[in-house]
């Protein structure tokens, strides 16, 4: 069972086997974390998304691609629910973390860095997004060694650390 820990930083620079991308259903890049990962990884990430996911991914699912030019080897893309658009089923959000950990195990990624899925532009309430992430990762039986929750700012880092205590 992985025990998550938190850091403040840029997920695209994480020195882990796989970074998790909060992707959209189309799997063609976007804003926020998704845009940052596609910019940092370069065109290889998009090419792999197009090839591996010609029809995108469903909300709550996950799949992997190369990480391109990032320090990580893989990107695990997961599609979070869009709270602002009415997708408020917490099980879908938990599924993002579960499926990402399952994919990590499938590809042999022993170290992962997660953003807070759906807590940015998709509007999931940050406190519940953190609670769901910590609960789901902590309950996982995936064979991974280290899970890092990467916070973009100090306030989010403090919130994550509070939930980890």
User: Is 34 a known active-site residue?
Assistant: yes
| Nearest to 34, CA basis, from 7, 5, 57 | 57
In the set 34, 48, 143, 154, the catalytic residue is 34
Distance CA 3, CA 75 (A): 20
DSSP H helical ranges for the chain: 32-41, 43-52, 90-107, 126-139, 154-164
Q: b/e string for 24-42 if b means 16 or more Cβ within 10 A?
A: beebebbebbbebbbebbe
Distance CA 76, CA 27 (A): 11
On whether the CB atoms of residues 64 and 26 are closer than 8 A, the answer is: no
Distance CA 42, CA 100 (A): 22
Catalytically annotated residues: 34
């Amino acid at each position: 069972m992985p025990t998550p820990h938190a850091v403040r930083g840029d997920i695209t620079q994480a020195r882990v086997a796989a970074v998790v991308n909060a992707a959209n259903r189309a799997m063609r890049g976007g804003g926020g974390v998704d845009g940052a990962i596609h910019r940092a990884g370069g065109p290889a990430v998009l090419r792999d998304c197009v090839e591996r996911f010609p029809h995108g991914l469903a909300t709550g699912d996950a799949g992997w691609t190369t990480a391109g030019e990032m320090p990580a080897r893989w990107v695990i893309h997961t599609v979070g629910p869009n709270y602002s658009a009415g997708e408020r089923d917490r099980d879908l959000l938990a599924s993002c973390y579960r499926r990402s950990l399952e994919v990590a195990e499938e590809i042999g990624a022993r170290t992962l860095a997660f953003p807070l899925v759906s807590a940015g532009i998709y509007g999931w309430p940050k406190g519940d997004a953190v609670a769901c992430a910590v609960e789901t990762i902590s309950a996982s039986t995936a064979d991974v060694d280290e899970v890092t929750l990467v916070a973009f700012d100090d306030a989010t880092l403090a919130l994550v650390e509070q939930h980890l205590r």
